[in-house]
Every structure is written in structure tokens, then in C-alpha cells.
Amino acid sequence: MPRWLQWVAYAGVFLFSYLFFVYWMFPMEALKSRLILSLEKNLGPDYQVSIESMETYRLTGASLEEMVIHTLRDGKKTAVLRIGRISGRAGLFSLLFGNPRVRFSMKLPKGRLAGTVQKKEEGFRIEGDLDKIDLGKIPYLHEVAGLNLVSEIGGAFNLDYNPQQPLRTAGEIEMRIEKLYLKKSTVSFGGMENFPLPDLILTKEPSKMKAEIGRGSMRVEAFQFKGDDLQLDLKGRIFMASEAARYRINLQGNFQFSDKLWQVFDPLLPEAFAAELKKQAGQAGSYPISVSGQLSSPQVYSGAVRIYPFKPF
């Protein structure tokens, strides 16, 4: 064997041995703990994150199994979101040239989110797509709020994010709501623990949510539901903060209920409140609506009438 070929073989064996050692000995438990701490710090003190396992994935990647985000309120821990599997893998050449680019995939109970994260001079460029997301599979909406939703949501997003200066995040988000139905549900409303809601069609025509992020705020260009039982159109701004719970909302628009939905509310609302609310109606039976306050404690008005929080019963 030529001497130069022997040196190539030695280098290959060394590289293989080194990668094998790194692959099996990488401190994934320590990395998992750091990831959990980082997520909890960004979510705020009312949230807790758990990850069942974290392992190396295809040499230059990692995978997480069964990540659950819980909310902690009144001494009670409640699951908000469950993610079956998250996997990410960096391109080998992007690592060699000092410009890491990671492809990621997130498997939800129903639906999928996938995209890329690329390291920039300041922060990261994040791009992704949502495919057939079903809100009905989100634990908080079903188990806590009592909403039996069926949905199919897709969309795309791109963000320039710097963890050192998160308020300088910039980018765009657009979601397409292909369908959103509510099956018979029992929810808490106005002090009633068992408030019944019938089957409702919340979107029939394709609806959307479109927003542009920059300079510490999110400009909501469209937040629409176009259904048989609910018409909703909101626009405005959401001002960001260091914690999501402290985001401030300033949205305005209009809404309209179907006769079917009014038949649910009319017998339950106090006459004086119902009469005052219906005075706010504009053309074609639509009502003004404004949403303000922090994300953790929003206030909703229709004209001069406060809709939420409100306990008429």
C-alpha cells in the first residue's frame, strides 16, 4: 500500500473513532437540563417544562421525546401542550464552515411543524411551515377550557431572533385556517361551571391570521373567522415583553353571531346587559369589539359594554 494511502487510512480511522466517541459520550442529560431551564425562563414563572428523553440523532443532531409544557396556577399543574417528538439535525458542511444550519421537525398529536434555524452574526434566522394542525389535540383547550375543537391549520413563518435582545425579533407569520368546528362542549362562562355550547361552525370559508413583527411589537394585519355561526375580524398591535404573559394587546374590529348562537346566550344573559349589548350593533348586525390588557388578563369590550371578564350570573 502506498505510504500516502496509509496516512489517509490512519486519518480516516482517527476521525471515525473521534466522531464515535463524541456521538456516544455527548452529555445529553446536561444539555436537556439547560434546555428546560432556558424554556422555563422565557415562558415565565407560571410554566414548567418536562422532557422524557433527549438523544443524539444522525450524528450531528438531537431528538427529544415527549415534551410537555405545564401551567402552574393555584397550586395546580395542568398540561398546556404535548409534543411527541422534536428532532433537529445540523448540516455537516454548515458546521465545517462556521455557519450552522439546523433542520428541525416537531411531531404534534395531530399535525406537524418543520423548518430550519440558521446562525447569523447576531442571533438566528428561523423559517418554518405548519401542516394540518388540530387545536382539538392541545390538552389545555380540551381538558381545562372544555372546548371540543376540530381544526385544520397550516401556514408559514420567518423570524430573525436574537436571544440576547428578544424584543428586537423581526419577521412575518401567516396561518391559514382551513376549518374550525366546535363540537358540543361544556365550558366555564360568567361564573357558570357547566355552560353548554352546541355544535358550531366557526370557519367555513378559508380564514387567516397574518402578522408582521418588528420594533418590539406584532402588527396584526388580519385575524379572521368566516363561519356560519361566527364572523370575526380583528386588527391592531400586540406589544411584546420579556415574558409572554406580559404581552400587551391592542386589537379592534367587529364580530357577528348567528341566530343559533344568540339563542344560546339570550336566555342566560340578564335583560339589562343583553339590551345594552344589542344597542352596540351596527350595520348588518355586526358588533364592534376591542381587546386590550396583558395577555395573561385581557379585557374585551363591545362598544361601552365589557364582555370579558364579566360574571352576570
242-292 per-position pLDDT tens digit: 888 889 999 999 999 999 998 888 887 888 888 899 899 987 889 999 999
Average pLDDT score, the chain:
83
Q: Residue 58: inside a domain, yes or no?
A: yes
List all residues 6 or more positions away from 77 whose beta carbon is below 8 Å from its beta carbon. Answer: 48, 70, 71
- The pLDDT of residue 256 is 94
**Across 204-217, average pLDDT:** 91
Task: With respect to residue 230, please indicate whether it lies within any of the assigned structural domains.
Answer: no
- The one-letter amino acid code at 229 reads D
N-term to C-term CA, the chain: 90
110 confidence band (pLDDT: 50, 70, 90)? confident
* Residue predicted with more confidence, 44 or 152: 152
Q: Is 93 exposed, middle or buried (0-12, 13-18, 19+ CB in 10 A)?
A: exposed
Q: Is residue 73 part of a domain?
A: yes
Domain that holds residue 45: 28-86
In a domain, 199, yes or no: no
Q: Where are the beta strands (DSSP E) in the chain?
A: 47-57, 61-73, 76-90, 101-107, 112-119, 124-133, 148-161, 170-183, 185-189, 192-197, 200-203, 207-214, 217-226, 230-239, 248-257, 287-294, 297-302, 305-308
Task: Count the domains in the chain.
Answer: 1
Tell me if 49 is assigned to some domain. yes
pLDDT category at 162 given cuts 50, 70, 90 is confident
Q: Are strands 170-183 and 148-161 parallel, antiparallel or unpaired?
A: antiparallel
The 8-class DSSP code of residue 283 comes to G
> Looking at the domain assignment, is residue 45 inside a domain?
yes
Residue 151 lies in a domain: no
Q: Quote the percentage of the chain above a pLDDT of 90.
A: 36
Is residue 41, in this structure, part of any structural domain at all? yes
CA distances from 122 to 20, 127, 162, 169, 304 (A): 32, 16, 6, 11, 46
